[in-house]
Amino acid sequence: MTDPPAEPSVVAGIDVGGTFTDLLLFDAARGTVRLAKTPSTLDNQADGVIHALEAADADIAALDLIVHGTTTTTNAVLERRLCRTGLVTTAGFRDVLELGRRTRPRPYGMTGTFRPIIPRDLRLEVPERMDARGAVVTPLDEDALRAALRRLAESGCEALVIHFLHAYANPAHEIRAGEIAREVWPNGNITLGHALLSESREFERGVTAAVNASVQPLLRRYVERLADTLAGRGYRHDVLVMNGNGGMVSARFVADEAAKTVMSGPASGVMAAAYTGRRAGRPDLITYDMGGTSTDVALIRGAEPTVSNEIEVEYAMPIHVPMVDVRTVGAGGGSIARVTAAGLLQVGPESAGATPGPICYGKGGTRPTISDANLLLGRLDPGRLAKVPGGVTVADVAAVFGRAIGDPLGLDPVAAAAAVIRIGNARMADAVRMVSISLGEDPRDFALFAFGGAGPLHACAIARELGIPEVLVPARPGITNALGCVVADLRHDFVRTFNRPVAAVDMEAVHAVFAEQSAEGRRLIGRQPVAIREVREIRSVDMQFMGQTHVLRVPLPTGAPTREDLQRRFEEAYLARFHVELPEIRANLVNVNTSVIGRRAEIDLSALIDAHHRKGSLEEATTGRRPVWFGAFVDTPIYWRDHLPADAVIEGPAVVEQMDTTILIEPGDTARQDADGNLVITLGR
Amino acid sequence: MTLDPITLTVIQSGLQQVCDEMDLTFSRAAFSPVIAEANDRSDGIYSAVDGSLIAQGAGGLPVFVGTMQYSTRVLIEMIANGKAAAPKPGDIYIVNDPYLGGTHLMDVRFAMPVYREGRIFCWLSNTGHWPDTGGAVPGGFSASATAVEQEGLRLPPVRLFKEGVLDPEIYAIICSNIRVAEQRIGDVKAQAAALLVGEKRLVRLLDRYGDETVSAAIAELRRRAAAQMRANLSLIPDGVYRSVAYVDSDGVVNEPLEIRLAVTAAGGDLTFDFAGSSPPCRGPMNSVLATTLSSVYLAMRHIFPDVPISAGAFEPLHVIRPEGTFLDAHYPRPVSGCAAEVSQRIAEAVFAALVQALPDKVTAAPAGTSGNFALGGFDPDRGQGYVMYQISGGGYGGNADHDGLSNGCSTIGISKAPPVEIMEQQYPVLYRRYALREGSGGAGRHRGGFGLDYEIELRRGAATASFVMDHGRFGPPGVLGGGDGQPNQVTVVQGGVSMTPAHLSKAQDIPLAPGDRVRVRTPGGGGYGDPFARETAAVGEDVRLERYTAAEARALFGVVVSADGAVDALATEALRAAGRRG
């Protein structure tokens, strides 16, 4: 391994998604960008990575940096293809991972199932106990520990979790148990509960550690194989891998904290949005990533994505490490429309998925979806049906809408399709509103950043519904995650628990913790093989009123706040978020947090659309006209995105098509192209 | 006025959104963990004419399904006959009287009229569970109360906010009668803020679609919800379905209380008759009418989760007023157990009756208790008193598709239990175990889920322990040949001597000294179907995972299995054949 050039000039961002592997290759010296989209190879994602590099005709030996987003751990968790993992825990608490927090999957319905992440026979107890203040109640029984480790290793466990009660308060027993385990455990796949997350709540901490352990061997094998494969092709540097917090980390260390990669895919897209928005002068964004089965929504304030430590990736599976807070809404292009027994039109949550998919995919889908409605209304090109297998015609799609939706509601097929779009948009707008309100924000203060295959088709209508004034469609909406890899920062997040009344907290200790967190973050960034232009720190405290159990994150501009600062900033933040003032009640300092962010060299996004393809006028960028439904069919111009002149201004109605998406500009709306090739659509009222 | 179906759908989701935003605002802004984290609250929109339910937030605590339509109706009636002050714009009423369409005193309801052109268009109302409303014991769950006055402060509907301004005099009276009063202002402000957010969103909807259109949509949605519920109920063959469920005791008189239910299905309507149930009781296990009705509705919604929560959905459900029984208590009967425990027995009776008609949709009985355990004492290290609440889950009933869930939350709740680590941070206790209760799930083709087995040791200072739980006398019943889940079991070790409370699941103020222990084993769920029809591999798996012993597998399921889960197929076949003959 050699050090990279101070400013890497050829950077590849490669994101492996469920269906496609996307690649963006930036060559700063030449000012060029190359793109590739190849099918993902899910049994060995490394093959897909190589295919993508080949498709882009990349000279692998000449690459200065590869940043990689992988779904290896995501898929393993969601499909429960996990490594056999053993747990050693405090006597009396073997079942914490199985009992959970006393819940059920849905508020109504007394059915449902739950499978603990580690089965009961691989969860063993050893005598040891700390109390809540970190004092030893029962010493660690090392003989019992050795016996338990032997038993787990003999039963074929590939990874190990050591999770003791109150280890966040005093990790001595976990640390000692870890030392013993390293002597006897057959490999390095050992996760200590407090190491990833040093906070109380034994179920959440335990699940986080168990997820980490049970994907660690998979991720380790995968990144080793990928690094070997790339080295075999002449690549000379480290591969960096995306984490769910939107930062990246060297492939050499990434498996140590494998749980942090579980939700990295959606995080990449949000990082790209933040970067693009900052350059476009729109630092406050709601991201709207609409795909086939679901839509991801996230909030960005001041070009910083919202990060949460309390994500639950599915029912009763909390992974409490810092992750970009991406909320998934169960509606996408494949959402199925139906008329309920009460005679009401419902869109989603059932989805046609990727197989059979919407009718218009020609893969055997027979039920009406949002994508099919877009096709009937001319919003998507009906001509594309000729290119899909199965011989589906527009008349076939219309017949389905007539039968399934139109007949029961007394509508013709086109009106039925329009109704599906209207209801689908309303439902998605409601979901976006709930996300923003739950984060204490008014959607009208944001611009909507639309990406994913279907996002730009619906964005204007949803923004209008929410009172959002502007929609931003980036130059390459279909490969936003790969762009996220290219522009990602290095990032390390730290949390330290104080849990003391503000009036009594030792402020010098608070300042010392901020300083320690900063130093540790800079040390970790220093060991990564990437040139850094600037190191930034984001500091915050988590606070609450005495008697509360939920906390509010309060940003701080400095690592040396006064006691009065804490109190005042908390009260201000509380009022802004909850619209309630409580001068009667004392405040409590819960956590002290620092995120240390290493920012890399600025990347010029204007090359995302090759200037050579641009035409001199809108007329020349026009590929044709077709009738598109806006209350009635309107003859609408169709433009090819890559051909738009640099300073294009488009008055709606218009459709802009490009390789990976279709953008709908509604009547009264105006789109302007900016220097980076984004379309900024201002909504008419 | 005719409405196109698309506008109808848009207005339906608009009304739902108003309620969901109220729920969210209330939880986010609330001070108490019981509301902010446990979501023990609900918000909805109610008719200006009769208080009937127009829409209710999806995230509300299930026990509140439909309750506020009764309190709103009573409020409207009291205003009409001059028993409550007439409203003005910006007024918000507060009420917690159980007998005026409520639950227990801790569930405090706010109601606010929404005006359009000088007339009330509808009411917005919400309920939040306050941590304390005064009374004999902190928290309000006195297991031995014999009159409502011992349970806390009772408020008739009065205007706490007058034209948008909090009335300091009423508020002062409230604060002088409840514990930790200084924190309540946080919940009061949140509860009012939720209504104001709801009003703002609703007015926007009305401005956009017009009052007349929205009114017409509300009426049409009600008709359609009724039609949808009837379509579901038509799956039930006409006939009478009977069931019985038992509350262990009322906490004062140590006799079981009986719920007798006869459900008559006739042409898509159901009539629920509780005639023959026990008379009103001395202790706090009485229910008030609104809670009894709500318990029936929530049970039906567990069976048909897709029907929207609205008065229309309740239309085909006829509950004969259970006068003269403990399910229709009047002043001054104590009622603190109605929302947490009796409601779950009523739901259990509904499940037990309807599983006969809908075996594919209804489960065997779930644990059905909130498992309230309160420990009050003085912590000498901190120099202050405390009250600790531990709620616990239990096993769910087996069902047509699956085994029951283990450690599920109460039938009427959605609240999470607190982590052991948080409890030990805040109170002078040490948990000796927090474990799956082995062997507790009722046997069946699909077995019941397992209960919880926890043990708490007092470390410092003197304390007293109180319990309001249930299913201590009889376990949750199995159905269609399935066995019962294990009953709730409370054991107290005082000075090394073990005792069980006389009322099994209910007790008040048991004194504890440092080193004393309380062990609670919560019920397993009822089993579903013949245990001898359970797949032998599933029984082997349960033995391998130490959920049942090999001896239990043999006795309960007729499966011969070694400790490592290996099933002896021949011996099992012989044993099961003998069992069937015998």
- Asked which of B228, B263, B284 is the last residue of a domain, the reply is B228
Residues of B in contact with A201 (CB under 8 A): 419, 421-422
What 8-state DSSP symbol labels residue B365? Answer: P
Instruction: Name residue, tokens 């680590």.
Output: B421
Q: Which of A33, A40, A49, A51 lies closest to A17, judged by CA?
A: A40
Determine, for residues A200 and B403 on separate chains, whether the beta-carbon distance falls below 8 Å.
no
Query: From the candidates A93, A96, A110, which should be mutated to test the interface with B, based on the most B CB atoms within 10 A?
Result: A110
Q: What is the largest CA-CA distance in chain A?
A: 81
Task: Please tell me whether residues B69 and B162 are part of one structural domain.
Answer: yes
Find the helix or strand (DSSP H, E) in which A18 lies.
none
Residues of B in contact with A466 (CB under 8 A): none
Residues of A in contact with B21 (CB under 8 A): 433-434, 437
CA–CA gap between residue A301 and residue A287 (Å, rounded): 11
Bridge partners (DSSP) listed for residue A247: A489
Determine, for residues B403 and A113 on separate chains, whether the beta-carbon distance falls below 8 Å.
yes
Per residue in A282-299, pLDDT (tens digit) is 999 999 999 888 899 999
CA–CA gap between residue A113 and residue A580 (Å, rounded): 39
Sorting pLDDT into bands at 50, 70 and 90, what band is A4?
A: very low
Characterize A208-231 residue by residue with b for buried, 16 or more Cβ atoms within 10 angstroms of its Cβ, and e for exposed. Answer: bbbbbbbbbbbbbebbeebbebbe
CA-based nearest residue in chain A for residue B17 = A430
The CATH number of the structural domain formed by A10-77+220-264 is 3.30.420.40
CA–CA gap between residue A430 and residue A426 (Å, rounded): 6
Per residue in A85-123, pLDDT (tens digit) is 999 999 999 999 999 998 899 999 999 899 999 999 999
Cis upstream peptide for A653 (omega within 30°)? yes
User: Considering CB atoms only, which of A137, A202, A579 is closest to B193?
Assistant: A579
Sorting pLDDT into bands at 50, 70 and 90, what band is A541?
A: very high
Task: Please tell me whether residues B375 and B451 are part of one structural domain.
Answer: yes
Residues of B in contact with A95 (CB under 8 A): 434-436
CA–CA gap between residue A155 and residue A152 (Å, rounded): 5
Å between A123 CA and nearest CA of chain B: 10
Instruction: Spell out the residues 6+ positions from residue A258 whose beta carbon is closer than 8 angstroms to its own.
Output: A73, A212, A215, A216, A218, A219, A220
Task: Please tell me whether residues B455 and B561 are part of one structural domain.
Answer: no
Burial of A459 from C-beta contacts in 10 A (0-12 / 13-18 / 19+): buried
Q: What is the pLDDT of residue B34?
A: 81
Q: Quick check: is B296 in a domain?
A: no
Q: What is the pLDDT of residue A551?
A: 82
Instruction: Name residue, tokens 């015609």.
Output: A393
Vertex A257 angle, CA A255 and A262, to 5°: 85
Q: Which of B558, B458, B433, B452 lies closest to B515, judged by CA?
A: B458
| AA letter at A175 | I
Query: From the candidates B207, B407, B415, B479, which should be mutated to test the interface with A, based on the most A CB atoms within 10 A?
Result: B407
Task: Please tell me whether residues B472 and B546 are part of one structural domain.
Answer: no
Cis upstream peptide for A667 (omega within 30°)? no
Q: What number of other Cβ atoms are within 10 A of residue A31's Cβ?
A: 11
Q: What is the pLDDT of residue A575?
A: 86
Q: Which of A628, A611, A624, A584 lies closest to A673, judged by CA?
A: A611
| A406 conformational bin, left if phi > 0, alpha if psi -120 to 50, beta if neither | alpha
Residue B171 is encoded by which pair of tokens? 């508020």
What are the extents of the domains in chain A? Answer: 10-77+220-264, 83-214, 491-599, 612-682
CA–CA gap between residue A610 and residue A606 (Å, rounded): 8
| Domain limits for position B551 | 535-581
Q: Quick check: is B158 in a domain?
A: yes
Q: What is the pLDDT of residue A2?
A: 45
Residue A96 is encoded by which pair of tokens? 């914490």
Determine, for residues A92 and B227 on separate chains, whether the beta-carbon distance falls below 8 Å.
no
Determine, for residues A99 and B436 on separate chains, whether the beta-carbon distance falls below 8 Å.
yes
A187 against B385, higher pLDDT? A187
- Asked which of B228, B248, B275 is the last residue of a domain, the reply is B228
CA–CA gap between residue A199 and residue A497 (Å, rounded): 7
DSSP secondary structure of B524-539: PPPPBS-GGGS-HHHH
Q: Three-class SS of residue B506?
A: strand
Q: Quick check: is B60 in a domain?
A: yes
Query: From the candidates B31, B187, B370, which should be mutated to test the interface with A, based on the most A CB atoms within 10 A?
Result: B31
Å between B127 CA and nearest CA of chain A: 18
Residue B226 is encoded by which pair of tokens? 């009724």
Å between A138 CA and nearest CA of chain B: 11
User: Considering CB atoms only, which of A96, A168, A409 is closest to B5?
Assistant: A409
Q: Which of B120, B110, B12 lies closest to B58, judged by CA?
A: B12
Q: Quick check: is B44 in a domain?
A: yes
Sign of the C-alpha dihedral, residues B564, B570, B573, B574? negative
Q: What is the pLDDT of residue B582?
A: 59
CA–CA gap between residue A266 and residue A74 (Å, rounded): 11
Q: Average pLDDT per run of 10 along chain B, which is 582 residues long?
A: 83 92 89 82 96 93 89 97 97 97 95 97 96 88 92 97 97 93 88 95 95 96 93 94 97 96 96 98 96 96 90 96 97 93 97 97 97 92 88 96 96 90 92 98 98 98 94 97 98 96 94 98 98 97 97 97 94 92 64
Q: What is the pLDDT of residue A559?
A: 93
Residue B402 is encoded by which pair of tokens? 């699956």
Residue B326 CA to its chain's centroid (Å): 17
Q: Taking residues A388-404, what's their average pLDDT?
A: 91
CA–CA gap between residue A270 and residue B202 (Å, rounded): 33
Task: Please tell me whether residues B569 and B477 are part of one structural domain.
Answer: no
Q: What is the pLDDT of residue A6?
A: 53
Find the helix or strand (DSSP H, E) in which A639 lies.
strand A633-640
Task: Please tell me whether residues B117 and B130 are part of one structural domain.
Answer: yes
Instruction: Spell out the residues 6+ positions from residue B126 whose beta carbon is closer than 8 angstroms to its own.
Output: B22, B26, B41, B42, B43, B44, B68, B109, B110, B191, B194, B195
CA–CA gap between residue A13 and residue A410 (Å, rounded): 50
Cβ contact B15:B308 at 8 Å: no
A63 against A499, higher pLDDT? A63
Instruction: Name residue, tokens 């209304």.
Output: A377
Q: What is the pLDDT of residue A600?
A: 85
Determine, for residues B29 and A580 on separate chains, whether the beta-carbon distance falls below 8 Å.
yes
Q: What is the pLDDT of residue B434?
A: 98
Please give the radius of gyration of chain B, using alpha carbons only, rounded to the nearest integer. Answer: 25
Bridge partners (DSSP) listed for residue B76: none
Cβ contact A106:A97 at 8 Å: no
Residues of B in contact with A342 (CB under 8 A): 224-225, 227-228
- CA of A7: how far to CAs of A3, A24, B420, in Å? 11, 18, 51
Instruction: Name residue, tokens 């919940």.
Output: B187
Q: What is the largest CA-CA distance in chain B?
A: 81
Residue A595 CA to its chain's centroid (Å): 18
Per residue in A591-608, pLDDT (tens digit) is 999 999 999 888 889 889
Task: Please tell me whether residues B371 and B517 are part of one structural domain.
Answer: yes
Whether the per-residue pLDDT at A144 is higher than 80: the answer is yes
User: Considering CB atoms only, which of A132, A341, A430 is closest to B421?
Assistant: A132
Task: Please tell me whether residues B160 and B35 are part of one structural domain.
Answer: yes
Instruction: Name residue, tokens 């890399």.
Output: A600
Q: What is the pLDDT of residue A371?
A: 94
What 8-state DSSP symbol labels residue B115? Answer: E
CA–CA gap between residue B506 and residue B490 (Å, rounded): 9
Q: What is the value of pTM for the model shown?
A: 0.93
Q: Which of B172, B118, B547, B4 lies closest to A345, judged by CA?
A: B4
Q: Quick check: is B234 in a domain?
A: no
Percentages of chain B per state (helix, strand, coil), in multiples of 5: 30, 25, 45
Q: Quick check: is B334 in a domain?
A: no
Q: Quick check: is B93 in a domain?
A: yes
Please give the radius of gyration of chain A, using alpha carbons only, rounded to the nearest integer. Answer: 26
DSSP secondary structure of A424-466: HHHHHHHHHHHHHHHTT--GGGSEEEEETTTHHHHHHHHHHHH
- State the total domains in chain B: 3
Task: Please tell me whether residues B180 and B110 are part of one structural domain.
Answer: yes
The CATH number of the structural domain formed by A491-599 is 3.30.1490
Q: Three-class SS of residue A116?
A: coil
Query: From the candidates A93, A99, A106, A204, which should be mutated to test the interface with B, based on the most B CB atoms within 10 A?
Result: A99
CA–CA gap between residue B367 and residue A101 (Å, rounded): 16
What 8-state DSSP symbol labels residue A612? Answer: G
Cβ contact B433:B453 at 8 Å: yes
Q: What is the pLDDT of residue A7?
A: 61
CA–CA gap between residue A406 and residue A417 (Å, rounded): 8
Strand (E) positions, B298-399? 317-319, 372-379, 384-390
Q: What is the pLDDT of residue A31?
A: 83
| AA letter at A530 | V
Instruction: Spell out the residues 6+ positions from residue A521 whose beta carbon is closer than 8 angstroms to its own.
Output: A492, A494, A535, A537, A594, A595, A596
User: Considering CB atoms only, which of A101, A427, A437 is closest to B21?
Assistant: A437
The mean of the pLDDT values for chain A is 92
Residues of A in contact with B435 (CB under 8 A): 92-95, 99
Sign of the C-alpha dihedral, residues A274, A278, A282, A284? positive
Instruction: Spell out the residues 6+ positions from residue B47 whose beta carbon is closer than 8 angstroms to its own.
Output: B53, B54, B72, B122, B123, B218, B311
Query: What distance, in Å, lies between the first and last C-alpha atoms of chain B?
Result: 68
DSSP alpha helix (H) spans, A341-445? 370-376, 394-401, 407-409, 413-438
Q: What is the pLDDT of residue A257?
A: 94
CA–CA gap between residue A294 and residue A453 (Å, rounded): 11
Q: Quick check: is B278 in a domain?
A: no
Per residue in A191-223, pLDDT (tens digit) is 999 998 888 899 999 999 999 999 999 999 999
Cis upstream peptide for B332 (omega within 30°)? yes
Counting Cα atoms < 13 Å in the Cβ hemisphere of B560 gives: 12
Q: Taking residues A603-627, what's their average pLDDT?
A: 92
Task: Please tell me whether residues B422 and B563 are part of one structural domain.
Answer: no
Burial of B162 from C-beta contacts in 10 A (0-12 / 13-18 / 19+): middle
Task: Please tell me whether residues B575 and B484 are part of one structural domain.
Answer: no
Q: What is the pLDDT of residue A486?
A: 92
Task: Please tell me whether residues B577 and B438 are part of one structural domain.
Answer: no
CA–CA gap between residue B103 and residue B286 (Å, rounded): 10
